[in-house]
Amino acid sequence: MRQSGISEQLVARLMAEGQFQSALDRICLEGEPGDARWCDLAGMCASRLGNARQAETFWLKAIELDSQACQPLLNLGALYSDLGRHDQAEQCFRRALGLAPESAAACANLALLLEKQGRMEEARKYHCQAVDLDGGSAEMRFNLANFLAGTGGEDDLEKAKSAFLEAIRIMPTHFGAWVNLGNLLFETGYVSAAHTAYTAAATYHPGEASAHVNLGNVLLHMGNPDAAQTHFRTALDIDPEFPEAHQGLASAYHRQGNPDKADYHRIRGFGGKPLLFVPCRGAGKPASLLILASSREGNVPWRFLVDQRLFEATIVAVECFEPLQALPEHSLLFNAIGDADLCREGLEIACMLAGRSAAPLINPPGAVLKTGRLDNAARLAKLPGVIAPDIRLLSKAALLSESDLAFPLLLRSPGFQGGNYFLRVDDHDALKPALSELPGEELFVMTYLESRQEDGLFRKFRVMSIDGALYPVHMAASRQWKVHYFSSDMAENASCRKEEEAFLNDFTAYLGAAKVSALEGVARSLGLDYCGMDFGIDRDGRLLLYEANATMSIVAPTSEKTWDYRRPAITNALMAARRMFAERLGNVQTLLPALHQQPSIS
């Protein structure tokens, strides 16, 4: 470099415009060669151009020219950190902190490096120190919030939420704070609050594709595929190749009964990205969990079942995974494919992949393959104390020509859960209109089991089978035959809530030993480590088994105090699932401290 009258303002303008090569050329041609500031700026330009070696040379020269300059040390330390040269990075940051003990930036950089190395207590100290030194910085609050969210401790999770909110108070448009707050809220069961956070991120940053994908995913979780589709499409308008947007759109189209469009976006979404990594949120060394999943719908809602303070997870979309490719390293294998009717191909692939693993296996795919509605109806109806519907799979044309149909009957399109595309037909005149509402050429035709009680209410119960034990998780009552908790009469009916409380507190006393024994028989017949059973009770006190499979979820109540009575049962079931995952590793003693911390239920 040679001396000239080049202005720092000009270089700053070029850098702000992204013209880093032009800025670097001007510095090298016209800058003061003996000025540490020019060397520092040159290093910044070289770094942004991807030339790490040149950047290192400029910053070392800047430090040589001015041994008291803090900024070149921070820049060089950040470069070393990115290159994995952690010892050299730490030396830079500590030297910068020695020169400027009041530098929040030095504290923050050192904290982030220590966090990357797993030195969590030291990292906590410097994150807190950075906030103390510059409490008005949204970025320092954001760094602290991310750290606290990553430790996994219950107290830290609450502090993380507060730190994210404080960063947002300082900078209301902070994209990372809104997104990471939404992630934390969703992962800990606060779905409605996560929706609010993701909505804010998408509102403030409408050009960010990931903001719309996050919002679309939470809307799918909340059962609103139409609204979710809008946001996935917006994300694809911004980035037509965004895999997660195609994946979300595939799910939305499936739930809307449009299989062709679902398959198109499923292939676009998973074809080049069959693996998804979910990092551990805990402070210790994580166990590696491999999750076999379908690229279609029909997977077990697993995120609340696995303690992310203990596990790092790799999810494999099995239909898009090269069969001869080596499986990612893992110490535990979980088959999350739960719908045998929709995902038969995926389950057959999962059987092959599971056969290549020596790790302990949860929910063997071969056992799940036997849980299709037709198979279940045939075998479970034979169990003592169980009344199950007769189920046939018929084409729409065959249905219209059938002369011996017994009404009322139930029609259901295969491959859908949650009551989607599931209708009651009361007489032959209503048959043809019903067929026009249901997607697919074949339908399950099911006998209708009457469970309405003397008070005019239909009741549906859910009991989970987890690692061989039964856990009641809800009872819903409704004046409609198709009972779902979200559309039931529970919020308005205090006596029904009292009844549900009795069921959750002591389901054996509520149901009676015979019906509990029947449910135990169903669970044994299914042979799954994790599954659920939905059932009713008729006026004669008989158990009516509606369905039993692995796809059933444990749905946490909303935060209103009205539902406090439900939380212990939900927590017990989730804790049982988390305990099962830990125990299957064979080293549960090392995991016990984390297991004693209960999951958040909102």
Question: For domain 458-595, which architecture applies?
Answer: 2-Layer Sandwich (3.30)
What's residue 2's pLDDT? 42
| Model pLDDT for residues 206-226, shown as the tens digit of each residue | 999 999 999 999 999 888 999
By residue count, the chain amounts to: 602
Q: Which residues of the chain have pLDDT under 70?
A: 1-6, 152, 282-283, 587-602
- Burial code (b: 16+ CB inside 10 Å, e: under 16) for 174-205 equals bbbbbbbbbbbbbbbbbbebbbebbbbbbeeb
What is the C-alpha separation between 544 and 575, in angstroms, rounded?
28
CATH 1.25.40.10 fits 40-253, yes or no: yes
Query: What residue spans define the domains of the chain?
Result: 40-253, 274-369, 390-447, 458-595
**What distance separates the 2 farthest-apart alpha carbons in the chain?**
98
Q: What angle do CA 382, 386, 389 make, to 5 degrees?
A: 80
Beta bridge partners of 464: 471, 532
| Model pLDDT for residues 487-542, shown as the tens digit of each residue | 788 999 999 999 999 999 999 999 999 999 999 999 999 999 999 999 999 999 99
What's residue 395's pLDDT? 94
Q: Quote the pTM value.
A: 0.79
Q: Which two tokens stand for residue 374?
A: 């037709």
How far is CA 442 from its chain centroid? 32
Class of domain 390-447: alpha beta
What's residue 385's pLDDT? 96
What is the C-alpha separation between 37 and 62, in angstroms, rounded?
7
What's residue 6's pLDDT? 62
DSSP state of 459: E
Q: 76: helix, coil or strand?
A: helix
Q: 282: helix, coil or strand?
A: coil
DSSP states along 132-195: HH-TT-HHHHHHHHHHHHHH--HHHHHHHHHHHHHHHHHSTT-HHHHHHHHHHHHHTT-HHHHH
What's residue 418's pLDDT? 74
